[in-house]
Each structure stands twice: as structure tokens, then as C-alpha cells.
Amino acid sequence: MPVTELLERNARLYGDEVALIELNPEENDTRRTTWKEYDLIESNRFEPYRREITWSVFDEKANRFANMLLGRGIKKGDKVAILMYNCLEWLPIYFGVLKTGAIAVPFNFRYDADEILYCAELAEVDIIVFGFEFIGRIEKYADRLSKGRLLIYVGDNCPGFAESYRELVQDCSSASPDIKLTDDDFGAIYFSSGTTGFPKAILHKHQSLSQAAEMEMRHHEITRDDTFLCIPPLYHTGAKFHWMGSLCAGSKAVLLKGAKPKTILSAVSSERCTIVWLLVPWAQDILEAFDTGKLNKDDYHLSQWRLMHIGAQPVPPSLIKHWLEYFPNHQYDTNYGLSESTGPGCVHLGMENIHKVGAIGIPGYRWECRIVDENGNEVKQGEVGELCVKGPGVMTCYYNNEEATRETLKDGWLYTGDVAKQDDEGFYYLVDRKKDVIVSGGENIYPVQIEDFMRKFNKIKDVAVIGLPDKRLGEKTAAIIELIDGVTCTKEEIDDFCMELPRYKRPKEIIFEDIPRNATGKIEKNKLRERYGADNLVAKETATE
């Protein structure tokens, strides 16, 4: 069934129970004042650090937004983008879009103005819903973004180029709209990126969403007694579809703003969270805080915490071994997936298989896997090849990109672009990435985008960006720079130039060296990775060509 029916079921059966909690422990005083002045919860009690809604209020808010959209002419197949930080409004808006039969299009909140415009046009978005943090980015192209589109602002002091969410929904009906949905209707577009670095729009049917919800509930044995702590951004398929397990079970979830060890442990303690999905850096930070004595595990109420699971990047077995020294009774799972497979879980370790940490695992609920050679033929067990997955969560296509769709979807199989092998017990292991995407702290970083930016610097002749091993982040970005003949340049000059990039895209290592290219002019990044492996890396502070 479509996930909208799960929300309506929860509102009907568990209406007075808390569905979502928003925690803001790391917000500054100015931000807290904003929340005091602008409370969308319609509650008699407001706390600047914490907000909550019940299942009935969740459903009513989704219905109001859906009825507003229908009143503005939105229909099945239209697209509504969401550009917001995690907050209590995010999921009701998302479900309001789904209830109209329109397609929800979450935008990465790291997108700059150019990327927002590009993705809006690629996905043919009809409406953009955005928060106050994005006013400047939307305003840059407001004239183009508003042509044929409605811009809806969630926050106080609505800018002149948008309409106010609060004013639009305040008089709308809270009754469920009479729109029939099936699993074959289109439900969402998520964005990924290929080797060129340009985002691709990934189209999913409602079947993908409901599959993710049921799979998550089954994989982690979620019941109504569980409380899920959601830290990553909701635009991310990982966060969204791990939360869908709570939706399926009718259990509570906490949206936490902030990822510092004390923030996470305090949230687990105060809200009695039982399930927490972490990224590798966050888990490492918690362990470091315990090891150094910065935090004391006994200062928190953590006995109810039963499951810690990790996804989005390879997990060092030593990390989990260390984790179990502090949490010997914890269950653990590794989750592998792509936005093209509705996020995590098409392959997962399984809570009963902690002895196989290091593997990404076995096929998830209702999924199949195989490893193929360059001709698409299945390889023998133990041999290396490209990992392919097949199941009810595979995307329909790359929207408006038939060529990329043909390259990725073949006979119902999704070619992941990841190189893997299978051991004699049937567990899959990642060997390398076929693509050059860097995964740093769970975020995908696309080298071509950084290379194109850095080539604008007047001292740079050529540049290659690669990922190097990093204990905390999994990978870190390194820029190998070939200078123009006779020019002197320092690392500080490069760092200053890169300040225009978002922080997570700025190279962490600067290396001055010639760029190797093959006969066809392509950068030989494998040679660079071999040359500048973790043991060989020496960053030169100054270079002269």
C-alpha cells in the first residue's frame, strides 16, 4: 500500500500518541527566539529546545498542505521540491505532496543557487517549498525560479518573491483529499550524480517507498515500543527511509539537529531512544569522547538503546569491535544502498551477523544480488565484478535521461557502479568504486565539480581531485595541482581561493605535482591514488614549476 495509507492508519489507531519530536540543542539564542515567535504546532506548550506532534496532528498538517496544493491546481504527476533543514514541518509537507498524487522532490540543502536552478529545471519542478536558511540562494534566481512556479516560504517575514506557507494552509481543510493512489503511481524524485558530477533525477514509484518502509521495519525488528533517533538530513534517502520503518511500525522518532557526541547521547538519554543510525565519523567521535574522558557513559540513560547501525560508507571492523567494548549488548547492522534503490537496505549485514563486520552483507528483504563482468555475465563466487541488485525498490528511470537509464537498468537489474565480490558464505564485500565519487563522512563529493572550480584560478594549469583514506571520514578530498610553468604558489593561496566552495567540498590536502593523463587525454586517477596512498602522502606547502 502507498505510505500515505500508513500515515492515515497511524492517525486513526494511535492519534494521540507522539509521532515526531524535534530537538534543537545546538541552536543559538537568535534561532530560539525565532521558534518562540513562529510555532506551527498549534500547541499550548512551547519549548525552544523541543517540539513534538502526534500522529493525528501529523496527518492533519499533511492534509492541509495537500488541499492547499490541490486548490492551486497541483495534480498527479506534478512535482513539488522541498528545500529545508530537518524540522517538524518537513515530513508533513512531504506527505502532503504525496497525498495529492504529485511527486515529492527533496533538494539537498547543500546545493548552491546554481545547483538549485539546475535541479528545478531538470526535474521540471512546479513548486519549491523552502526554509528561511535558503532565502539568499532562492533570491539569486528568483526571477527564473518563479516563472511558471510557485515559491512557498516556511518561516517568518516571508520574502516578496514567495508566498507564506502559514498563510496558505491556515484555512485549508484537515480532511484527507479524495485522491486514489496505487503503488504504480509515481511518488518521488531524488537526486544523484554520475561520473560527470551533474545531478541526475531518480524517479521512484510509490512501490519503492512502501518497500523501503516494510523492509526497514523487518530488518531491524521495529515495534511500537521503539524510538528512532534521526540525525542525517531528511532529503537523504538514508534518513528518510530508515525513518519509514518507524512509520510502518507506528513508533516514535526524534529529529535531532546536531551531531556532537554530547548532543547525540543527551538525545538518546532524554528521549529514551532505542535505535540510532550513525555515520562512521559520529561513531568515532563518541568513542573518542569516551576514550579521552571528555564524556562519561554512566552520565546518560542508555540502557534502552538496543541497536546502532551504520550506512553511507565502508565501516572499519575495528570501529565496531571498539564500539562493543562500551556497548557489549548492542545489536548492529551495516546498510548498503543507493538512491536508485530507494536508499539503504538492498544489501545489509543483518543484526545476527555481527561476526561478519567488514562485509556489506546479504540481499535485503525482497532483493536479489549478483556480480557481473564487463559483458554482463555473472562471475564465479569469489571473483571481482560489478554489483547488481534487483527488487521492488529499483528506480523507474533517470528522469529526462534515457541514455543514463539504459546504462544503469538492464533487464530489471540495477548496475550499481560498485565493484564487489562474494565469499563462500554468500556475503558481499565492496572492493572499490567503479566511479570516482568520494564518500566523506557519508556525503558524496563529486571531483569534477571541484576540479572545474579550481581551474578558474589563474596559477593552475591542471588539477585532479581524488579521495584518500581517512580514519574518521572514510575518505578525504585531495587536490593534485599542476601549476602554470614558472609560477610560484602556496597552499595558503589555494585554500583562500577555495573558500568560495562549500566547506565540505574544499580539498583537505593540497599536493603540487604533474597530472598524469593517458593517450586519450583522461586523467589517470588510479595512478594518483597509488602514488598518494595514506602511507606515501606528503603535502608540500610550497612549490615552484
Q: State the Cα torsion 381-382-386-389 to the nearest 10°.
A: 50
130 and 31 within one domain: yes
- Residue 86, pLDDT > 80, answer yes
Query: Is residue 413 located within the same domain as residue 469?
Result: no
Is 507 within 8 Å of 515 (Cβ atoms)?
no
Q: Which grid coordinates belong to 345? A: 537496505
Task: Looking at the structure, tell me whether residues 107 and 24 fall in a common domain.
Answer: yes
Per the DSSP assignment, residues forming a β-bridge with 393 are: none
Which CATH number does the domain housing residue 56 bear? 3.40.50.12780
Is the same domain home to 429 and 443? Answer: no
**Based on the domain organization, do 236 and 153 belong to the same domain?**
yes
CATH of the domain at 418: 2.30.38.10
CATH of the domain at 481: 3.30.300.30
Neighbours of 251 (CB within 10 A): 23
- Residue 265 falls within a domain, yes or no? no
Most confident of 212-216, 277-281, 533-537: 212-216
Q: Does 455 map to a domain? A: yes
Which of the four pLDDT bands, split at 50, 70 and 90, describes residue 410? very high
Name the domain boundary from 224, 256, 288: 256
pLDDT value at residue 525: 82
Residues 316 and 425 in one domain: yes
Residue 507 forms part of a structural domain: yes
Residue 133: closest CA among 82, 83, 91, 80: 83
Instruction: Say whether both 457 and 400 belong to one domain.
Output: no
DSSP letter assigned to residue 132: G
Query: Can you give the pLDDT at residue 271?
Result: 97
| Residues 238, 321 share a domain | no
The domain total for the chain is: 3
Q: Which of 172-186, 210-224, 466-480 has the lowest average pLDDT?
A: 466-480
Q: Are residues 226 and 132 in the same domain?
A: yes
Cβ–Cβ < 8 Å for 83, 116: yes
Please give the Cα distance from 522 to 528 (Å, whole number): 13
Least confident of 139-143, 186-190, 203-207, 237-241: 237-241
* Beta-strand pair 252-256/18-23: parallel
The percentage of the chain sitting over the pLDDT mark of 70, rounded to a whole number, equals: 91
In a domain, 376, yes or no: yes
**Residue 38 pLDDT:** 31
Work out whether strand 50-54 and strand 18-23 pair parallel, antiparallel, or are unpaired. antiparallel
Question: Position 248: which residue type?
Answer: C
The pLDDT of residue 33 is 32
Domain closes at, from 376, 407, 433 = 433
Same domain, yes or no, for 401 and 495? no
Query: Among the listed ranges 62-66, 452-456, 484-488, 537-541, which one has the minimum average pLDDT value?
Result: 537-541
More confident residue, 217 or 536: 217
Residue 448 CB-density burial (10 A; 0-12 exposed, 13-18 middle, 19+ buried): middle
pLDDT tier at 125 (50, 70, 90 boundaries)?
A: very high
Q: Terminus-to-terminus CA distance in the chain, angstroms?
A: 64
CB 161 within 8 A of CB 147: no
- Can you give the residue range of the structural domain that contains 456? 438-544
Same domain, 215 and 353: no
Assigned domain for 301 exists? no
The mean predicted confidence, pLDDT, of the chain is 89
User: Averaged over 153-181, what is the pLDDT?
Assistant: 96
Residue where a domain stops, chosen among 433, 468, 499: 433
Beta pairing, strands 127-131 & 150-154: parallel
- Is the pLDDT reported for residue 194 higher than 60? no
Residue 293 resides in a domain:
no
| Mean pLDDT (whole number) for 501-505 | 89
Identify whether residues 84 and 137 lie together within a single domain.
Answer: yes
If phi over 0 gives left and psi between -120 and 50 gives alpha, with beta otherwise, what is residue 172? beta
Higher pLDDT, 458 or 220: 220
Structural domain contains residue 281? no
**pLDDT digit string, tens, across residues 34-58:** 333 333 333 333 344 899 999 999 9
pTM here is: 0.82
